[in-house]
Amino acid sequence: MSSADVELTSYLNTHEQLVQALEGVSEEQLRWKAEPSSWSVTEVLAHLADHSIVVSFRIRDILADTKVQLPAFQQDAWVSGQHSNQGQTADSLELFRSLLHYNSLLLGRLIPGEWEKSGINFKGETVRISDIVRGFTAHVERHLAQIERVKREAQASQAAQVAQASKQAAL
């Protein structure tokens, strides 16, 4: 198995990891935010769908040999500007899955040398397609850890509210 095959398998596995991370999570927990400036699980998923769009463009731009700087995006502004917490997690997951599948078809057609084609990112660094795919997978893994933290915090917050309500009812 080539390194490209391993990267593609890891890349494709990100959707299933997200689905598993959401098992048993209530709608209230999906939208819960520790504070207004932090992201809910719903917003994290919307961000990952947005990131998939940007990565899709970056890969295609490199393959087209356009030689322009690869685009960055203002993730917080995208999340807030789209009112992402009011969206549906299922929609974000479906877009994420669809782009993952579509990109995997493209990546599966690449010959080994094309995985090494490169562009210049917004920081002025040279990035190869293999770097973008590997970086995308790592990015999702970091957000999976964030999702787990938010879920734990949401559950703790809900438990504290129930305890407080029970305490007040007993008085």
* Each residue's pLDDT tens digit, 28-49: 999 999 999 999 999 999 999 9
pLDDT grade, residue 96 (50/70/90)?
Answer: very high
What's the average model confidence in pLDDT over 12-30?
Answer: 96
Report the candidate in 122, 46, 104, 101 with the shortest Cα–Cα distance to residue 79: 46
Asked if 158 and 29 touch (Cβ cutoff 8 Å), the reply is yes
* 118 membership: H or E segment, kind and range: strand 118-120
Give yes or no for residue 1 having a pLDDT over 70. no
Per-residue pLDDT tens for 40-93? 999 999 999 999 999 999 999 999 999 889 999 999 999 999 999 999 999 999
Following DSSP, what letter does each residue of 37-80 receive, concatenated? TSPPHHHHHHHHHHHHHHHHHHHHHHHTT--SPPPP--HHHHHH
Average pLDDT, the chain: 93
Percent of the chain past pLDDT 70, that is, above it, reads 98
The DSSP code for 116 is G
Residues shown for the chain? 171
Give yes or no for residue 163 having a pLDDT over 90. no
Q: What are phi and psi of 26, to 5 degrees?
A: -75, 165
Report the candidate in 71, 76, 89, 99 with the shortest Cα–Cα distance to residue 31: 89
